[in-house]
Amino acid sequence: MSTNNSNHTRFKAVIFDLDGVITDTAHYHYLAWKRTADSIGAPFDEAFNEQLKGVDRMGSLRLILARAPRSFSEEEQLALADAKNRHYQELIATMTPRDLLPGALEALEAVRAAGLRIGLASVSKNAFTVLDRLGIRDRFDDVVDAATIRNSKPHPEIFLTAAEHLGVAPADCLGVEDAAAGVAAIKDAGMVAVGVGSPDVLHRADRVIRSMEEFDLSAY
Ligand code: B16
Ligand code: MG
């Protein structure tokens, strides 16, 4: 465990992704999309799911439907997205503070101890519910409301919005992401990117750590 309380950092803010960084809701998204995809005969597995990380709900559905055996009307698409979201909400309703990923809380504490601002950049419209279930909403100076974001990751909009809300220049922000689309969003926002996961997937990240337990503010 190398999470570090050092004040030696050149950054003024850290902006975290939620799914896959703070908690493993990525798995719940997978389960909910898998059931939807199975119901319409569209192929779906963990590898394909990787492409959906950081992509908003309708964008994810479009990627799934591109592999489905028939086309779907707009009305059918909305019904499918709604069914997925209801299933996802059933799954996250069971979450507790025990669902914080190892090292996530320590990372938030280290950033706070170093006197930096803390933001959350999740395109999930369920992010506030998840933060409340985890009991950590008040640890963020700003949580971007996904409903106000027009462009999903990999577009940099959500990270730029978080920086603006925090009153910090993008160049002074460190972004933390588990998805390739999210790392691209951080880099295109002009920030330094920490990837959490595999270097093969997160090749645009400035540094990749295997888990949040390796997060070290003084390493960048
Ligand atoms: P919702 P992030 C993203 O959150 C997920 O990675 C992505 O898989 C999901 O489709 C998206 O949120 C939308 O979520 O359906 O709850 O609005 O990675 O930006 O925290
Ligand atoms: Mg994520």
**Sign of the dihedral through C-alpha 33, 39, 45, 51:** negative
Same fold for the pair 13-24+100-219 and 26-92: no
For the annotated catalytic residues, the residue numbers are 17, 19
> Does the C-beta of 19 come closer than 6 Å to ligand 1?
yes
| Residue 214, helix vs strand vs coil | helix
| Residue 120: strand pairing partners | 16, 143
3, pLDDT greater than 70:
no
Q: Which residue of 16, 19, 132 sits with most ligand 1 atoms within 8 Å of its CB, as the best mutation to test the pocket?
A: 19
User: Tell me: the pLDDT tens digits for 73-118?
Assistant: 999 999 999 999 999 999 999 999 999 999 999 999 999 999 999 9
What's domain 26-92's architecture? Orthogonal Bundle (1.10)
How far apart are the two ends of the chain, measured CA to CA in Å?
A: 17
Segments making up each domain of the chain, as ranges: 13-24+100-219, 26-92
* Residue that has been written with the tokens 């997978």 in this structure: 30
Name the pLDDT band for 53 (thresholds 50, 70, 90).
confident
This prediction's pTM: 0.91
More confident residue, 214 or 201: 214
With contact defined as beta carbons under 8 Å apart, do 152 and 59 qualify? yes
Across the chain, where does the E strand assignment appear?
Answer: 13-16, 117-120, 142-143, 173-177, 192-196, 207-209
Classify domain 13-24+100-219 at the CATH superfamily level.
HAD superfamily/HAD-like (3.40.50.1000)
With contact defined as beta carbons under 8 Å apart, do 61 and 84 qualify? yes
Name the pLDDT band for 4 (thresholds 50, 70, 90).
very low
140, pLDDT greater than 80:
yes
The Cβ-side half-sphere exposure at 10, using a 13 Å CA radius, reads 7
Cβ count near 153 (within 10 Å): 28
Q: Which atom of ligand 1 lies closest to the CA of 88?
A: 16
Name the pLDDT band for 219 (thresholds 50, 70, 90).
confident
Q: What is the mean pLDDT of the chain?
A: 94
Name the pLDDT band for 1 (thresholds 50, 70, 90).
very low
